[in-house]
Amino acid sequence: MDHAVQLSLSETFTSVQGEGKLAGVPSWFVRFSGCNLRCTWCDTPYASWSPEVTTRTLDELLAEARDVFSRGVAHAVVTGGEPMMFDAVEPLTQGLRALGMHITIETAGTIVRPPTALACDLMSISPKLSNSTPREGDPRDPGGVWRLRHEQRRLNVGVLNDLLASFPGRQLKFVVSEMSQIAEIESLLETLRGWSRGDVLLMPEGVTAEAIASRRWMVDVCVERGWRYCPRLHIDLFGNKRGT
Ligand code: SF4
């Protein structure tokens, strides 16, 4: 392993996991900066729309992880942006595995890497629905270049099936704002193999307590289908605040 390899990050921090099957678990987060998508509601624009980059070496990062691990935080969350865009995700996850950490990778599921190269205990896949596409006239997207690119890239059924086949620890996390998106999720699930109902999580779109509360109808949808409701603990606890 080349310990001098450079990683383009926006931040590292320690908190509790806010979303998904491991919500509430103390975790060390490492956030890559840069994304191949541009979700209209992206809550980490500093890693997508306006990427802020700090360069760190693998050695520095693993030293930080070792320190956190020695204080009892055994879970690492590799997130972004889109961490799967970066070759450095492979040595990073292998290094975290060598430390003994549990590794979650948070991805939109448009890029796959071989399980022999990537160490991952929970592949947290968040396929992007049509509600993610930037609106026409979005001032962040003059000329609509990203609107088109996002729409072309946001769903890749072949990659999603490869991820599901390659990583037995997985969850499918959907950001939902309207009832109409449930049919969209169901038709996507029909094309995917190897998932179980308990792997499907619905997460309310929104970064305020009011927006999240307005999506309580999603609880009934989950109960009817055997899916999970996905909390956003970090919003409940800290609001839409970076580094939480
Ligand atoms: S995939 Fe994630 S990081 Fe990228 S734009 Fe969408 S929400 Fe933001």
Give tens-digit pLDDT for 98-146: 999 999 999 999 999 999 999 999 999 999 999 999 999 999 999 999 9
Q: What is the pTM of this model?
A: 0.94
Pocket test for ligand 1, best of 29, 44, 125, 147 (most atoms within 8 A of CB): 44
Banded model confidence at residue 3, pLDDT cuts 50, 70, 90: confident
Banded model confidence at residue 231, pLDDT cuts 50, 70, 90: confident
- Ligand 1 center to 51 CA (angstroms): 11
- One DSSP character per residue, 119-171 reads --SEEEE----GGGSPPTT-TTSGGGHHHHHHHHHS--HHHHHHHHHH-SSEE
- As given in the structure block, the two tokens for residue 17 are 């996991």
Residue nearest to atom 3 of ligand 1 (CA): 81
User: What is the rounded distance in angstroms from the CA atom of residue 51 to the CA atom of residue 35?
Assistant: 8
- Ligand 1 center to 108 CA (angstroms): 7
Query: How many residues can be counted in the chain?
Result: 244
Q: What is the pLDDT of residues 146-168, one digit of tens each?
A: 999 999 999 999 999 999 999 99
User: What is the rounded distance in angstroms from the CA atom of residue 51 to the CA atom of residue 232?
Assistant: 23
Instruction: Write the CA distances from 20 to 91, 175, 233, integer angstroms.
Output: 25, 11, 10
pLDDT at 185: 98
Q: Hey, which residues does 88 pair with through a beta bridge?
A: none
The closest-lying atom of ligand 1 relative to the alpha carbon of residue 49 is: 5
